[in-house]
Structure 1
Amino acid sequence: MTSTAESLRDREVDQEPRGRDRSSRPRRRGSVLPAIQNALVWLLGIIGAIAIAWLLASWIFGLHLVILTTGSMSPAMPPGTAVIERTTDAADLAVGDVVSVPRAHDGQLVTHRIVGIDDAASAAERALTLRGDANDTDDADSYVVSRAGIMLFAIPGLGIALSAMTSPAGLAILGVVLAGAVLWVLWPGRR
């Protein structure tokens, strides 16, 4: 009988008491890594969700992104500002709207404020007179358009980060970092 009682007592000593808070146990070495991995999974998930949300929004609502490279719309929109725009018919534009339209001679986008609207050759077109907020004079030529990108909102500085990430070096670094992060998170570990 004593051997059975001693064996039960030995098992009870080896077991952790019920109801004891496991968080009060001392942390084991290396227990920070799972927390970092979990945070990385959440970060990658959030980045993925933002990318998917942007793709859906741009497709459903006709949104697009323009990054300002000059200071013609300063101080409110300095170089490096990301402008979110929606394509709209020229008939729906008004004086004061900030729009992006292509230049006639080279097709480069110009993002300036409308200061005048005139009728054009067709009923769907308008001749826009534009001026950058930082400029003292109107643009030299008017822009005849049937559709234009109208600014919904602008985020100063975001364009700099996006330009850096979408450069060849930025894409290479981003690809290596994301691939490494995914491999690190999914790599089978010791349990």
Structure 2
Amino acid sequence: MSTPTRRSLREQAASVGMPASPRDAPAPSGSTRGKRRGVGRVLADILLWVAAIAGVVCMVLVVLALTANITLIMFRTGSMSPTIPAGSVAVVQEVAASEIEVGDVVTVDRVGDLPVTHRVTSISPGASDAERVLTMRGDANAGDDPYPYTVQTVRVVLFSVPGIASAIVAMGNPYVLGGLTIAATALVVWAFWPRSSTARRRGVPEEPG
């Protein structure tokens, strides 16, 4: 008795309308679903990376705030336009007033009022070596501020990013924070939820039971 060859098996299968081998079989109906799941997993990985980067940025800001006195301030008015338009967020660093030069943009704290961030137009000595009397003006204003500021420390603007103040304000909303926390938790759980070992070995998506 002759041993059936691969060719003879193919011919027999073709005669009865059956695929001769798994390679000739039509693609399973779940392949499209598997592709969709693959795209979803890629998107989830991208979102996880974005969340991780955002977390690293937050940690870096905390470290800078503790070690280098670097913080953020938001601009609600346009007194520094067009250099720093309303809605911008600036990164500022607290420094001694003796380090300030004419032309710097600094934030000065005021007792009983909001801080003011304007450009320094003149500097005079104060009552002590550490003290300075600053005259300031907003870039959008026609004249200097109505009175000088006597300071020992100020916050100098390092750089600013326009248009993100509203997003940062929204982050302080408890409902927004709660929603982001729930969404991030769901994303992490979905991304790392274990799949069946059989599906992992075969490289096929799981089918609903």
Q: TM over 0.5: same fold?
A: yes
Which residue does the alignment assign to 1:97? 104
Equivalent of 1:167 in 169, 173, 179: 173
Which residue does the alignment assign to 1:186? 192
Contact 2:133–2:150, Cα closer than 8 Å, also in 1: yes
Tell me whether 151-160 or 44-53 shows the greater mean CA deviation: 44-53
Question: Take 2:181 and 2:147, find their aligned partners in 1: how far apart are those partners?
Answer: 43
| TM-score using structure 2 length | 0.73
**What CA deviation, in whole Å up to 9, does each residue of 1:71-114 have, x standing for no partner?**
1111221111111111111011011100001113x142111111
Question: Take 1:136 and 1:116, find their aligned partners in 2: how far apart are those partners?
Answer: 16
**Superposition CA RMSD, Å:** 2.7
Determine whether 1:75 maps to 2:75: no
1:124 Cα offset (Å) = 0.5
Which residue does the alignment assign to 2:147? 141
1:44-55 correspondence to structure 2 within 5 Å: 44-55=51-62
Runs of 4+ off more than 4 Å: 1-6
Question: Take 1:164 and 1:67, find their aligned partners in 2: how far apart are those partners?
Answer: 13
1:56 Cα offset (Å) = 2.7
Structure-2 change in CA distance of 1:54 and 1:2 (3 Å):
farther
Tell me whether 30-39 or 116-125 shows the greater mean CA deviation: 30-39
Which residue does the alignment assign to 2:156? 150
1:70 Cα offset (Å) = 1.0
Contact 2:61–2:71, Cα closer than 8 Å, also in 1: no
Contact 1:85–1:149, Cα closer than 8 Å, also in 2: yes
Unaligned runs of 5+ in 1: 17-25
**What CA deviation, in whole Å up to 9, does each residue of 1:36-80 have, x standing for no partner?**
222222222222222223223333332111111111111221111
1:138 Cα offset (Å) = 1.4
Determine whether 1:66 maps to 2:91: no
Question: Take 2:2 and 2:51, find their aligned partners in 1: how far apart are those partners?
Answer: 59
Equivalent of 2:46 in 30, 33, 39: 39
1:5 Cα offset (Å) = 7.7
